[in-house]
Structure 1
Amino acid sequence: MSPADEVRAVFRDAGVRGWLHARPVSGDGPHHSDRDVDAGAHAPVVMASVYKLFVLVAYCREVDAGTVDPREPVVVPVPRTPGLTGISALVDPVTMSWRDLVTSMVTASDNAAADVVHSRVGRDRVAALPTELGLPGTRIRGGTDEVFADLLADTGTDDVAAAFGVLADNDVPVEVRALSPVYGSATTAADVTALLALLWRGELASEASTAFARRLLGAQIWPHRLRAGFPAPTQVAGKTGTVGAVRNDVGVVTYPGEHPVAVAVFTHSARSDTTVPRADAAIGAAARVAVHALRAPAL
């Protein structure tokens, strides 16, 4: 059985539709640039919070250009974009630096921080990044605030918590734009691994900004998806994405003494429950199959 077939079997056993791509980060040598694992890698998928990777890249470039001072204090007022983590979960105005807002955006997937940073670096600028970087399967339309506005309209609710309650009810069929790649932000697994490889090789930002981005992605607080597929000595740096039945995780996996491998896993579970442990576990299991097929010693 090929690695791609093994990945599909993992998705099937978990009761999810899944799409995966993995590629070595190194672009040189016959053992790296011509190898990958493709399980629906070019199909359009819902990004959810994976879009924050593009906001991170845009922020790093603005810092490099001198148009954003990472230490500048920023007052984030209320109301702001809701969420369960970061300043989204707080009830009072917050003052933070730009770099601390970005840290919360990436490590905790902070929706409010993401929308503030997204607006600062320029939503048009972020939307233009996929074309600029040669990622034809990716489009970014707005931020989390706009996704939530559509979610309220589609579910007929007055607040985000109620909207997610509707999404979690398997007995209430709801057509929601946030769960379809036809609307809003979308990408492909192959585009995301290409972005991660460019970032990891230092081709998107300065050495200092690249180190900053890699450090944040390595500090993500969610260990139950991609991270769960690999043993403790392995370094896993990445970004999750979740909305309703959509559960994603993308990142770079590095075994000690080996070349890093970029892997992107996107899933849509059969059930819409708030917690679907088998779907989360499938992300790590599928990633492990793909990464193991591409492991190679560092020269």
Structure 2
Amino acid sequence: MSVEDRITKIFDAAGVDARLHAVDVDRGGEVALGADEPVVLASIFKVMLVLEFARQAAAGQLDPTERVVVRAADRLGGWGTSGCADDVEVSLRDLAYFAMSVTDNTAADLLLRRVGPDVLPLLPAELGLERTRIVGGPRELLASMYADVGAGGDDEFVARFPTLSPDRIRAMRVFDPERTTSSTPREVTRLLELIWRDEAGPPAATAMVRALMGRQIFWTRIASGFPPGVRVAAKTGTLPGLHMEAGVVEYPDGGRYALAVFAQTRSLEFRRIDVDLAIGEAARAAVDALRAA
């Protein structure tokens, strides 16, 4: 059985359709399963956001210690500063930390304002990622979801969303790669390769991105497939029915493997630990094949 067949079997057992790309950062071997199909990025876009922030900081275009006050009107819900009851003052680099470590949407939105919402969409083309597009940030994504269900605010959205049919939910713009921030698994691993090879910007900038990805607190996806001693630096993305993660696995012997895994459940349950663990199992199968090669 080929490694692609083994990975397909893993995802079939979890009841998901998945796309995966894995590449040896230093030797170039790959494992591909739907690697050139368009995929929604969700919070994985924050890797590019933090990369652009780090590049501007390294170039002296902004001060990473600049202070920002996160106010009630800024909060988008979710983790980190989003869940605070009172105003919070942090630095720009701490906004980057929250955006990457706990996928803080409020922090990402404020960081995007400072980096330049008109500048970030230019980054993929500069890096040669021709099929990667950025359409706004977390605030724009949330606004599109509210508009698509006809909700005027948080409370109305929370009330309406559970009543929608699966077909109505999947017709929302956030699930359509042609109408939201999107890429392909192959281009996501290409982005990671450029970061890990210091080819996506000044070494100080790419080192910052690698360090922040290494501080992500979530471990049930790619990291769940690997034993202690193997370092995983990654970024998750989640929407109803969509579980995804992109990251780099580094072995003590120096082997480095970039992975991008995008899984879509055949139903819309939000919490599916079995899907997360299947991502880890599939990632391990792909890396084992690359190491054996």
Q: Which category of TM-score, normalised to the shorter sequence, fits these structures?
A: over 0.9
TM-aligned CA distance change 1:169 to 1:200, over 3 Å: farther
User: Whole-Å Cα distance in 2 between the matches of residues 140 and 163 of structure 1?
Assistant: 24
Pick one of 74, 85, 91 that aligns with 2:85.
Answer: 91
Deviations 1:123-160 (A, max 9, x none): 22110111111111210000011111111111233434
User: What is the distance in 1 between the residues matched to 2:54 and 2:154?
Assistant: 30
1:277 aligns to 2:273 (yes or no): yes
Q: How do residues 244-255 of structure 1 correspond to structure 2 at under 5 angstroms?
A: 244-255=240-251
1:53 paired to 2:82? no
User: Is contact 2:47-2:209 (8 Å) kept?
Assistant: no
The aligned residue for residue 14 of structure 2 is 14
Counterpart of 1:265 in 2: which secondary structure?
strand
Matches within 5 A, 1:1-299: 1-26=1-26, 32-33=27-28, 35-160=29-154, 163=157, 173-174=167-168, 175-295=171-291
SS of the residue 1:23 aligns to: strand
Amino acid at match of 2:54: C
Q: Conserved in 1, the CA contact under 8 Å of 2:75 and 2:81?
A: no
- Tell me the TM-score normalised to structure 1 length: 0.92
1:11 Cα deviation (Å)? 1.6
CA positional deviation for 1:190: 0.4
> Following the alignment from structure 2 to structure 1, what is the Cα–Cα distance between the partners of residues 155 and 252?
42
Residue segments in structure 1 that go unaligned for 5+ positions in a row: 27-31
Q: Cα gap change, 1:231/1:78 in structure 2, threshold over 3 Å: closer, same or farther? A: same
Q: Which is worse superposed, 153-162 or 225-234?
A: 153-162
Report how far residue 209 of structure 1 moved.
2.4
Distance in structure 2 (CA, Å) of the matches to 1:162 and 1:22: 41
CA distance in 2, matches of 1:166, 1:234: 43
Contact preservation (8 Å) 1:15, 1:269? yes
Q: Deviation per CA, 1:192-212, whole angstroms, max 9, x where unpaired? A: 100001101111232322222
Q: CA deviation at 1:118?
A: 1.0
**8 Å CA contact retained: 1:22, 1:263:** yes
Contact between 1:19 and 1:40, CA under 8 Å: does it hold in 2? yes
State the one-letter code of the partner of 2:110: V
Contact 1:168 1:272 in 2 (8 A): no
Match for residue 29 of structure 1? Answer: none
Deviation, 1:171, is 5.1
Over 3 Å counting, the alpha-carbon distance change for 1:230 and 1:169 in structure 2 is: farther
Using the aligned pairs only, state the percent identity: 39
**Distance change in 2, residues 1:60/1:281 (3 Å):** same
Contact 2:96-2:108 within 8 A present in 1 as well: yes
How far the C-alpha of 1:165 sits from its partner, in A, is 6.5
Bigger mean CA offset, 45-54 vs 272-281: 272-281
Contact 1:22 1:36 in 2 (8 A): yes
Query: 2:118 aligns to what SS in structure 1?
Result: helix
The alignment yields a C-alpha RMSD, in angstroms, of 1.8
